[in-house]
């Protein structure tokens, strides 16, 4: 590991995350969105649907930040700088780990670039190295929403992580049984269990123990997947960016990239977690709509 780039001390991230979560809740800086969980079966997958109990605090906070930004004459960016009460750890010379202020999933972590970079900029070697280092600390799903259409709520580049399993006592993600059923071979391929465009690769964690080696391999595969999906890089103001929106999902055992055509199916926003089998709805009416429409059909609709 290049210690000049990576600042995180091995074996410390989970304890820092738990401690900062506890303290941030006590200080009122972290404001979890209460939910109840429902299971919806579709396409051979048991989707986890979280139903919000109260979104009022989030709406009020957004309104306050909008007024503040208008007074200051600039766009609001919660990551420049991130709130100290939400900051978990220094990850690398380019990344800091921050709690998701209005988290739906407990211990939801954001890996934020220290300086502003566009969310539509291609992921770099350093981005993937930082993510892989963090994912080596505990079982986690890493994901990236490539642009607003893919579910990104902020323009400032940020990768995300949630602990595994997504639901207690279940497979790591609802997608994992479909992966095992498809039994994909080596190399970049597709899963015949997924009825929408995508590219998939099974990973062998034993061969990716070194973060630099892993980052180089992951980035090469990531670029190949984007090309195969018709998303070649483009140059904007001298920066390599995506030519279309997409979602990236990553565990220590597999990697998935899905192209996107729209953010919503009906009124329900779908981000990368949807393709792992986890959806979020605002109320009972949206839950009923998800049941009637079918989560797998929703994924097909937004690809």
DSSP letter string, 23-60: HHHHHT------EEEEEEEETTEEEEEEEES--HHHHH
pLDDT of residue 72: 62
Phi, psi of 208 (to 5 degrees): -125, 35
Please give the full DSSP string across 242-262, using - where no structure is assigned: -SS-EEEEE-SSEEEEEE-S-
- Quick check: is 4 in a domain? no
- H/E element, 225: helix 211-228
Residue 239 contacts residue 222 (beta carbons within 8 Å): no
Q: How confident is the model at residue 31 (pLDDT cuts 50, 70, 90)?
A: very high
Count of alpha carbons within 13 Å of 75, Cβ hemisphere only? 6
Interatomic CA distance for residues 195 and 275, integer angstroms: 11
Q: Domain count of the chain?
A: 1
DSSP H or E run through 303 = none
1 domain residue, yes or no: no
Residue 168 covered by a domain: yes
Q: Is residue 260 part of a domain?
A: yes
- Record the pTM: 0.92
Q: How far apart are CA 175 and CA 187, in angstroms?
A: 19
Helix (H), strand (E) counts: the chain: 8, 16
Is residue 219 classed as helix, strand or coil in its secondary structure?
A: helix
Q: pLDDT tens for residues 266-278?
A: 999 999 999 999 9
User: Would the pLDDT of 207 be above 80?
Assistant: no
pLDDT in tens, 143-186: 999 999 999 999 999 999 999 999 888 899 999 999 999 977 78
Residue 301's pLDDT is 98
Q: Domain for residue 190, yes or no?
A: yes
Q: Is the pLDDT of residue 60 over 60?
A: no
Range of the domain at 99: 13-302
The answer to whether 241 and 234 are in contact (CB under 8 A) is yes
Contact 183, 192 (CB under 8 A): no
- Say whether 297 sits in a helix, a strand or coil: helix
CATH number of the domain within which 80 lies: 3.30.428.70
Residue 145 within any structural domain of the chain: yes
Indicate the average pLDDT of the chain.
92
User: Has residue 70 been placed in a domain?
Assistant: yes
The reported pLDDT for the residue numbered 21 is 98
Q: Give the pLDDT confidence score for residue 94 in this predicted structure.
A: 96
**Angle in degrees, CA 193, 195, 186, rounded to 5:** 45
- Please tell me whether residue 126 adopts helix, strand or coil conformation: helix
Confidence grade of residue 68 (pLDDT, cut at 50, 70, 90):
low
Distances (CA, A) of 68 to 62, 87, 152, 153, 295: 10, 22, 22, 18, 38
- The verdict on residue 3 lying in a domain is no
């Amino acid at each position: 590991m290049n210690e000049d780039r990576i600042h995180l001390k091995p074996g410390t991230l989970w304890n820092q995350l738990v401690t900062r979560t506890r303290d941030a809740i006590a200080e009122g800086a972290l404001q979890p969105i209460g939910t109840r969980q429902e299971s919806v079966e579709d396409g051979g997958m048991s989707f986890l649907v979280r139903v919000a109990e109260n979104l009022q605090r989030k709406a009020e906070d957004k309104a306050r930040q909008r007024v503040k930004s208008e007074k200051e004459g600039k766009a609001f960016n919660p990551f420049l700088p991130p709130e100290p009460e939400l900051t978990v750890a220094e990850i690398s010379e380019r990344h800091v780990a921050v709690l998701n202020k209005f988290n739906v999933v407990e211990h939801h972590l954001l890996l934020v670039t220290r300086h502003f970079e566009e969310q539509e900029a291609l992921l770099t070697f350093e981005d993937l190295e930082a993510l892989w280092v963090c994912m080596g600390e505990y079982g986690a799903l890493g994901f990236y929403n490539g642009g607003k259409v893919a579910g990104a709520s902020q323009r400032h580049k940020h990768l995300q992580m949630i602990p595994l399993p997504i639901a207690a006592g279940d497979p790591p993600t609802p997608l994992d049984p479909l992966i095992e059923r498809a039994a994909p071979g080596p190399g970049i391929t597709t899963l015949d269990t997924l009825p929408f465009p995508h590219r998939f690769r099974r990973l062998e964690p034993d061969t990716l123990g070194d973060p630099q080696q892993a980052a180089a391999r992951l980035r090469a595969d990531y670029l190949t997947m984007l090309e195969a999906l018709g998303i070649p890089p483009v140059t904007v103001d001298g920066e390599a960016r995506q030519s279309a929106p997409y979602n990236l999902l990553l565990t220590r055992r597999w990697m998935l990239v899905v192209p996107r055509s729209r953010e919503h199916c009906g009124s329900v926003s779908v981000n990368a977690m949807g393709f792992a089998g986890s959806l979020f709805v605002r109320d009972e009416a949206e839950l009923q709509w998800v049941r009637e429409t079918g989560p797998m059909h929703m994924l097909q609709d937004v690809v």
